[in-house]
Chain A
């Protein structure tokens, strides 16, 4: 087990810079999830930590050792890949034991360790099977077992669940989290699924275009997004974004509606975006309404109902009750508590508080 630190990490492929200075401290035993849209540099960062890619500039330390120039095998890390990377020509036992090939252990000790890990993953009955006789979830467990068997300082996962079906993904998510609680190894986990990130992480690292946007607990990222990107990326369905102007009177929305806002603009009025999450935007009585519109689509989810509401040319998602939801085509009044509203500067996207 060890901590991990990235200092001003830069990656260039030829002249293109794909990572522009990543700074991050991961504590010993922490579960950190990198999340972001495709191509934002999550895998690249992970592969640099693993030693599979050269570092263009900056520093990576594991424990208190700078590992920039160490071979992957000298870094004492283990990595689980998206397509499992378990060898089709080897049995489960051999696959799990593969990580021990270079370990200085007696044969008996190795065999024991393999069984121990397989048991931990509930795979002890499958040790002599070949991967093609396993289900997707079982294969993923073997891949995890292979990483686990060496007792690495840091675990790296690169979208390990994205090849699984939805149900299995939920299950494996839970299993990995439990596993982390049991073994306590530092984990860096990459995903582009924000639900995965929210549910598993101690801390989330949200990335975009080679920059870290925000680092924080899932709750922080959800309740206090630092900019419009994070606000829209975290949470599903994503946050409604309503354009407006902040002047010395308060907030003036695009359709002329005024919203009381205690933070008045100093100086000239300036363009802002009001963010409100669908679950915070609810049908209310006309007297308390902030917005008014026509329902275009109704999506019942059981416990609640998503209402797609057309408000003066902008489609907004609101949530209604699970029972007795309003009909499409009907008029609706919507309101949200003031403390659930988020305000962002329009130009920079930065949150205003």
Chain B
């Protein structure tokens, strides 16, 4: 009994130590044996596989057209010309801006409403609660490809085709986010909510100033997911937009052609630039996520 206890304590301590090390960015003391080396090797191979396309994207963005179909990673004659061209081309900036608007607004809206609905489903007992939850969940099982047709018909009816609102509306709330937030709100003890109720807060205030701060890591994770999802969304924006001015970045990039021919070095340059915002969003929000993990570990 006591041996078991101390075992799990040691495990906890190790998890804590490595989580803390992760936070500090240093390496935790790790046991070095052959199994560990094999693991590193596999991870390294996997890492290479993941990074290759990115590396080619970056490398191509610095190449002249004649070199594009060469497989060398380091351009023979590196150039910044693609970047100047892309950034001076009005269309690219317009698409970048469109994407930024769409992704930002859907992120804010999703995080807000998903959390609100998730909280309600988690903390209130009302008739039909279960049915509502199942209904929301079941939409997760329908792929986007099937949804675009009703979305399109709807947009047509309401006159939303080729508008920013038209691009955004399907993403203003996500079933996945509702589910995620509901699960996370389960970790907020009811006592917190009841204590606030006794202290005289109304239900919205309780949600906003008591429950929400306690699920920040989940909010951050959701924000990253939603932002990435909308930033890289392709099918729906492609279908709903018709004029070049309304394109989002992914739609625009695939058609980034000058005089009929697709110019890969320019597409890759655009793609390289488009990675930046996702990187920023990730760096901003992942702090919360890791801190959340560490806090959860230290609590017990």
Query: A residues within 8 Å of B by Cβ?
Result: 50-52, 71-73, 77-79, 81-83, 85, 87-89, 98-99, 101-102, 132, 146, 150
Residue of B with least CB distance to A47 = B194
Residues of B within 8 A of A83 (CB): 189, 191
Are B195 and A79 in touch, CB under 8 angstroms? yes
Residue of A with least CB distance to B196 = A98
Q: With A83-B191, A89-B214 given, is the CB distance from A72 to B201 under 8 Å? A: no
Q: Which of B161-210 contact A (CB under 8 A)?
A: 189, 191-192, 194-201, 210
Interface of A, helix, strand, loop or mixed by DSSP: loop
Given A79-B194, A89-B214, A150-B199, 4 other A-B residues pairs in contact with their CB atoms under 8 A: A52-B197, A52-B198, A83-B189, A85-B192
Residues of A within 8 A of B298 (CB): 132
Are A87 and B198 in touch, CB under 8 angstroms? no
B25 an interface residue at 8 Å Cβ cutoff?
no
Q: How far is the CA of A102 from the CA of B196 in the complex (A)?
A: 11
Are B191 and A87 in touch, CB under 8 angstroms? no
Are B200 and A102 in touch, CB under 8 angstroms? yes
B300 an interface residue at 8 Å Cβ cutoff?
no
Are B201 and A102 in touch, CB under 8 angstroms? yes
Are A85 and B201 in touch, CB under 8 angstroms? no
Are B199 and A101 in touch, CB under 8 angstroms? yes
Closest CB-CB distance, A346 to chain B, in whole Å? 40
Q: With A101-B200, A102-B201 given, is the CB distance from A85 to B214 under 8 Å? A: no
Are B210 and A87 in touch, CB under 8 angstroms? yes
Which residue of the partner chain, among A50, A78, A101, A146, contacts B201 with CB atoms under 8 Å? A101
B47 an interface residue at 8 Å Cβ cutoff?
no
Which residue of the partner chain, among A77, A82, A89, A132, contacts B198 with CB atoms under 8 Å? A77
A–B pairs, 17, beta carbons within 8 Å:
A51-B198, A52-B198, A71-B197, A72-B194, A73-B197, A73-B198, A73-B200, A77-B198, A79-B195, A85-B189, A87-B192, A87-B213, A87-B214, A88-B214, A99-B200, A132-B298, A146-B199
Q: How far is the CA of A102 from the CA of B206 in the complex (A)?
A: 13
Closest CB-CB distance, A272 to chain B, in whole Å? 43
Residue of B with least CB distance to A75 = B198
Are A72 and B198 in touch, CB under 8 angstroms? yes
Closest CB-CB distance, A104 to chain B, in whole Å? 11
Q: With A85-B192, A89-B214 given, is the CB distance from A102 to B198 under 8 Å? A: no
Are A89 and B213 in touch, CB under 8 angstroms? yes
Closest CB-CB distance, B287 to chain A, in whole Å? 15
Are B191 and A82 in touch, CB under 8 angstroms? yes
Q: With A87-B213, A89-B213, A89-B214 given, is the CB distance from A81 to B191 under 8 Å? A: yes
Are A50 and B198 in touch, CB under 8 angstroms? yes
Q: How far is the CA of A50 from the CA of B189 in the complex (A)?
A: 18
Residues of B within 8 A of A77 (CB): 198
Q: How far is the CA of A51 from the CA of B196 in the complex (A)?
A: 13
Q: How far is the CA of A87 from the CA of B191 in the complex (A)?
A: 10
Q: How far is the CA of A150 from the CA of B191 in the complex (A)?
A: 18
Closest CB-CB distance, A84 to chain B, in whole Å? 8
Are A102 and B195 in touch, CB under 8 angstroms? no
Residues of B within 8 A of A99 (CB): 199-200
Residue of A with least CB distance to B299 = A132
Residues of B within 8 A of A52 (CB): 194, 197-198
Q: How far is the CA of A236 from the CA of B191 in the complex (A)?
A: 32
Which residue of the partner chain, among A71, A81, A132, contacts B195 with CB atoms under 8 Å? A81
Q: How far is the CA of A276 from the CA of B195 in the complex (A)?
A: 44
Closest CB-CB distance, A351 to chain B, in whole Å? 38
Residues of A within 8 A of B191 (CB): 81-83, 85
Q: Which of B247-289 contact A (CB under 8 A)?
A: none
Closest CB-CB distance, A42 to chain B, in whole Å? 16
Closest CB-CB distance, A99 to chain B, in whole Å? 5
Residue of B with least CB distance to A82 = B191
Residue of B with least CB distance to A89 = B213
Q: How far is the CA of A102 from the CA of B210 in the complex (A)?
A: 15
Shortest beta-carbon contacts, A-B, top 10: A73-B200, A102-B200, A85-B191, A85-B195, A89-B213, A81-B191, A72-B198, A99-B199, A72-B197, A85-B192
Closest CB-CB distance, A100 to chain B, in whole Å? 9
Q: How far is the CA of A276 from the CA of B249 in the complex (A)?
A: 86
Q: How far is the CA of A88 from the CA of B198 in the complex (A)?
A: 18
Closest CB-CB distance, A340 to chain B, in whole Å? 40
Are A79 and B198 in touch, CB under 8 angstroms? yes
Are B198 and A78 in touch, CB under 8 angstroms? yes
Residues of B within 8 A of A101 (CB): 199-201
Q: How far is the CA of A89 from the CA of B192 in the complex (A)?
A: 12
Closest CB-CB distance, B168 to chain A, in whole Å? 31
Interface centre among B192, B195, B210, B214 (most CB of A within 10 A): B195
Closest CB-CB distance, B212 to chain A, in whole Å? 10
